[in-house]
Structure 1
Amino acid sequence: MSFKIAIIGAGSVGFTKKLFTDILCVPEFQDIEFALTDISEHNLGMIKAILDRIVEANSLPTKVTATTNRREALEGARYIISCVRVGGLEAYADDIRIPLKYGIDQCVGDTICAGGILYGQRNIPVILDFCRDIREVADTNAKFLNYANPMAMNTWAAIEYGKVDTVGLCHGVQHGAAQIAEVLGAKSSRELDYVCSGINHQTWFIELKLNGRPIGKDELVAAFEAHPVYSKQEKLRIDVLKRFGVYSTESNGHLSEYLPWYRKRPDEITRWIDMSDWIHGETGGYLRYSTETRNWFETEYPQFLEAASKPIDPAKRSNEHASHILEALETNRVYRGHFNVKNNGVITNLPQDAIIESPGFVDRFGINMAAGITLPEACAATCMASINVQRMSVHAAIAGDIDLLKLAVLHDPLVGAVSTPEEVWQMVDEMVVAEAAWLPQYAHAVPAAKERLSKAHVKTREWVGAARRSVRSIEELRAEKAALKQAG
Structure 2
Amino acid sequence: MSFKIAIIGAGSVGFTKKLFTDILCVPEFEDIEFALTDVSEHNLAMIKAILDRIVEANKLPTKVTATTNRREALEGARYIISCVRVGGLEAYADDIRIPLKYGIDQCVGDTICAGGILYGQRNIPVILDFCRDIREVAATGAKFLNYANPMAMNTWAAIEYGKVDTVGLCHGVQHGAEQIAQVLGAKSPKELDHVCSGINHQTWFIELKLNGRSIGKDELISAFEAHPVYSKQEKLRIDVLKRFGVYSTESNGHLSEYLPWYRKRPDEIARWIDMSDWIHGETGGYLRYSTETRNWFETEYPQFLEAASKPIDPAKRSNEHASHILEALETNRVYRGHFNVKNNGVITNLPQDAIIESPGFVDRFGINMAAGITLPEACAATCMASINVQRMSVHAAIAGDIDLLKLAVLHDPLVGAVSTPEEVWQMVDEMVVAQAQWLPQYAHAVPAAKERLSKSKVKTREWAGAARRSVRSIEELRAEKAALKQAG
State the TM-score bracket (shorter-chain normalisation): over 0.9
Cα drift, residue 168 of structure 1: 0.0
Q: Note the alpha carbon deviations across 1:25-66, whole angstroms, 9 max, x for none.
A: 000000000000000000000000000000000000000000
Cα drift, residue 249 of structure 1: 0.1
Cα drift, residue 299 of structure 1: 0.1
Q: Aligned to 1:274, what secondary structure does the other structure show? A: coil
Q: Aligned to 2:445, what secondary structure does the other structure show? A: helix
The match for 2:289 is 289
Q: Note the alpha carbon deviations across 1:369-422, whole angstroms, 9 max, x for none.
A: 000000000000000000000000000000000000000000000000000000
Cα drift, residue 310 of structure 1: 0.1
Cα drift, residue 129 of structure 1: 0.1
The match for 1:310 is 310
Cα drift, residue 10 of structure 1: 0.0
Q: Partners in 2 of 1:424 and 1:360 — Cα distance?
A: 39
Q: Note the alpha carbon deviations across 1:307-334, whole angstroms, 9 max, x for none.
A: 0000000000000000000000000000
Q: Aligned to 2:461, what secondary structure does the other structure show? A: coil
Q: Partners in 2 of 1:433 and 1:150 — Cα distance?
A: 21
Q: Note the alpha carbon deviations across 1:114-150, whole angstroms, 9 max, x for none.
A: 0000000000000000000000000011000000000
Q: Partners in 2 of 1:351 and 1:444 — Cα distance?
A: 32
The match for 2:135 is 135
Q: Partners in 2 of 1:141 and 1:111 — Cα distance?
A: 29
Cα drift, residue 76 of structure 1: 0.1
Q: Aligned to 1:447, what secondary structure does the other structure show? A: helix
Q: Partners in 2 of 1:455 and 1:282 — Cα distance?
A: 34
Q: Note the alpha carbon deviations across 1:284-306, whole angstroms, 9 max, x for none.
A: 00000000000000000000000
Cα drift, residue 104 of structure 1: 0.1
The match for 2:239 is 239
Cα drift, residue 487 of structure 1: 0.1
Q: Partners in 1 of 2:366 and 2:483 — Cα distance?
A: 48
Q: Aligned to 1:336, what secondary structure does the other structure show? A: strand
What aligned pairs does 1:419-430 form with structure 2 within 5 A after superposition?
419-430=419-430
Q: Partners in 2 of 1:196 and 1:231 — Cα distance?
A: 22
Q: Partners in 2 of 1:178 and 1:227 — Cα distance?
A: 14
Q: Partners in 1 of 2:479 and 2:20 — Cα distance?
A: 31
Q: Partners in 1 of 2:194 and 2:97 — Cα distance?
A: 39
Q: Partners in 2 of 1:232 and 1:151 — Cα distance?
A: 28
Q: Partners in 2 of 1:433 and 1:187 — Cα distance?
A: 52
Q: Aligned to 1:445, what secondary structure does the other structure show? A: helix
Which sections of structure 2, spanning at least 5 residues, go unmatched? none
Q: Partners in 2 of 1:59 and 1:242 — Cα distance?
A: 53
Q: Partners in 2 of 1:430 and 1:392 — Cα distance?
A: 19
Cα drift, residue 176 of structure 1: 0.1
Q: Partners in 1 of 2:99 and 2:428 — Cα distance?
A: 9
Q: Aligned to 1:80, what secondary structure does the other structure show? A: strand
Moved over 2 A (4+): none
Q: Percent identity?
A: 96
Q: Partners in 1 of 2:47 and 2:126 — Cα distance?
A: 22
Is 1:436–2:436 an aligned residue pair?
Answer: yes
Q: Note the alpha carbon deviations across 1:183-210, whole angstroms, 9 max, x for none.
A: 0000011000011000000000000000
Q: Partners in 2 of 1:426 and 1:194 — Cα distance?
A: 44
Q: Note the alpha carbon deviations across 1:255-298, whole angstroms, 9 max, x for none.
A: 00000000000000000000000000000000000000000000
Q: Note the alpha carbon deviations across 1:323-368, whole angstroms, 9 max, x for none.
A: 0000000000000000000000000000000000000000000000
Cα drift, residue 82 of structure 1: 0.1
Q: Aligned to 1:130, what secondary structure does the other structure show? A: helix
Q: Aligned to 2:104, what secondary structure does the other structure show? A: coil
Q: Partners in 2 of 1:469 and 1:452 — Cα distance?
A: 33
Q: Aligned to 1:465, what secondary structure does the other structure show? A: coil
Q: Partners in 2 of 1:7 and 1:35 — Cα distance?
A: 6
Q: Partners in 1 of 2:303 and 2:270 — Cα distance?
A: 37
Q: Aligned to 1:205, what secondary structure does the other structure show? A: strand
Q: Partners in 1 of 2:187 and 2:162 — Cα distance?
A: 43
Q: Aligned to 1:341, what secondary structure does the other structure show? A: strand
Q: Partners in 2 of 1:290 and 1:232 — Cα distance?
A: 24
Q: Partners in 1 of 2:140 and 2:132 — Cα distance?
A: 13
Q: Aligned to 1:36, what secondary structure does the other structure show? A: strand
The match for 2:249 is 249
Q: Aligned to 1:194, what secondary structure does the other structure show? A: strand
The match for 2:184 is 184
The match for 1:163 is 163
Q: Partners in 1 of 2:408 and 2:196 — Cα distance?
A: 27
Q: Aligned to 1:209, what secondary structure does the other structure show? A: strand
Q: Partners in 2 of 1:63 and 1:213 — Cα distance?
A: 47
Cα drift, residue 471 of structure 1: 0.2
Cα drift, residue 8 of structure 1: 0.1
Q: Partners in 2 of 1:306 and 1:456 — Cα distance?
A: 55
The match for 2:397 is 397
CA RMSD of aligned residues (A): 0.2
Cα drift, residue 22 of structure 1: 0.1
Q: Aligned to 1:157, what secondary structure does the other structure show? A: helix
Q: Aligned to 1:409, what secondary structure does the other structure show? A: helix
Cα drift, residue 158 of structure 1: 0.1
Q: Aligned to 1:260, what secondary structure does the other structure show? A: coil
Q: Aligned to 1:406, what secondary structure does the other structure show? A: helix
The match for 2:212 is 212
Cα drift, residue 228 of structure 1: 0.2
Q: Partners in 2 of 1:324 and 1:454 — Cα distance?
A: 53
Q: Partners in 1 of 2:152 and 2:399 — Cα distance?
A: 18
Cα drift, residue 253 of structure 1: 0.1
Q: Partners in 2 of 1:439 and 1:187 — Cα distance?
A: 49
Q: Aligned to 2:198, what secondary structure does the other structure show? A: strand
Q: Partners in 2 of 1:178 and 1:269 — Cα distance?
A: 26
Q: Partners in 2 of 1:457 and 1:77 — Cα distance?
A: 53
TM-score by length of 1: 1.00
Aligned residue-pair number: 488
Q: Partners in 2 of 1:434 and 1:110 — Cα distance?
A: 17
The match for 1:89 is 89
What aligned pairs does 1:48-87 form with structure 2 within 5 A after superposition?
48-87=48-87
Cα drift, residue 429 of structure 1: 0.1
Q: Partners in 2 of 1:248 and 1:111 — Cα distance?
A: 15
Q: Aligned to 2:73, what secondary structure does the other structure show? A: helix
Q: Partners in 2 of 1:470 and 1:184 — Cα distance?
A: 36
Q: Partners in 2 of 1:335 and 1:470 — Cα distance?
A: 42
Q: Aligned to 2:59, what secondary structure does the other structure show? A: coil
Q: Partners in 1 of 2:436 and 2:468 — Cα distance?
A: 27
